[in-house]
Amino acid sequence: MSGQPGEHTDPAVAFEAAKLGVWTFLATEVLLFGALFTAYTVFRIKYPEMFRAEHAKLDRVLGAVNTVVLITSSLMVVLGVDAIKRGKARLLEAYFGATILLAAVFLLVKYTEYTAKFHHGLYPDTNIFFSLYYMMTGLHGIHVLLGMGVLSYVIVLSRRGRLSEAWCTPAEMSGLYWHFVDLVWIYLFPLLYLIG
């Protein structure tokens, strides 16, 4: 997703281009989730009682734990980008590795949540609320997976010595993307788990 610099462009132009490219990409992501948030709004207005009754079936503690996990992972990304800007490639790899680890924890918690719901007979076709729950958190989960891939790629680049304080665009861009993934969850958590 973070573009390669063209054969002929100089690093400054390549950085500017990559930045605009990633922000534009994030705009498309907002629209992608936007449709689901619209569906949420429509059905919440239509069935307020159902949302009140069903949201209580979600595990707030696990949801809160995951929120903390993701916010911490965003902090790790920031520290990683800061490290490479000071030329410390090993430190970047450590921080991004920690981010990936936290992302894995997030998915693990999500997995236990899904399993518990299945045990109680709550599936995507149970009702509109759980349709929304599975579609929204599922699409978000896919984004977490993709983000783990992107961050791993940046680590590989760094291991090969391709990143430095002069050229750290891939690290910055993957960081932007990760913050977005984090931000989506910041909205999903209260909308699904907290508001009754």
Q: By CB under 8 A, name the binding residues for other proteins.
A: 3-4, 6-9, 13, 16-17, 20-21, 24-25, 27-29, 31-36, 38-39, 42-43, 46-47, 50, 123-125, 127-128, 131-132, 134-135, 139
Q: Please report how close the Cβ of residue 25 comes to other proteins at its closest, in angstroms.
A: 6
> For residue 170, how many other CB atoms are within 10 A of its CB?
21
Q: Please report how close the Cβ of residue 19 comes to other proteins at its closest, in angstroms.
A: 9
Nearer to other proteins, 49 or 86 (CB): 49
Nearer to other proteins, 99 or 137 (CB): 137
- How many Cα atoms within 13 Å fall on the side-chain side of residue 47? 13
Instruction: Please answer whether residues 71 and 182 qualify as being in contact, where contact means their C-beta atoms are separated by less than 8 angstroms.
Output: yes
Instruction: Please answer whether residues 117 and 95 qualify as being in contact, where contact means their C-beta atoms are separated by less than 8 angstroms.
Output: no
Nearer to other proteins, 12 or 166 (CB): 12
Token pair recorded at residue 126: 């149970």
Nearer to other proteins, 54 or 93 (CB): 54
Rounded Cα distance, 39 and 128, in Å: 10
Q: Please report how close the Cβ of residue 188 comes to other proteins at its closest, in angstroms.
A: 15
Q: Please report how close the Cβ of residue 196 comes to other proteins at its closest, in angstroms.
A: 19
Nearer to other proteins, 36 or 98 (CB): 36
Q: Please report how close the Cβ of residue 23 comes to other proteins at its closest, in angstroms.
A: 10
Q: Using the 8-state DSSP alphabet, how is residue 106 labeled?
A: H
Rounded Cα distance, 174 and 24, in Å: 14
Nearer to other proteins, 25 or 94 (CB): 25
Token pair recorded at residue 41: 């709004």
DSSP 158-169: HHTT---SS--H
Q: Please report how close the Cβ of residue 28 comes to other proteins at its closest, in angstroms.
A: 5
If we measure between CA atoms, which residue out of 127, 134, 131 comes closest to residue 49?
127
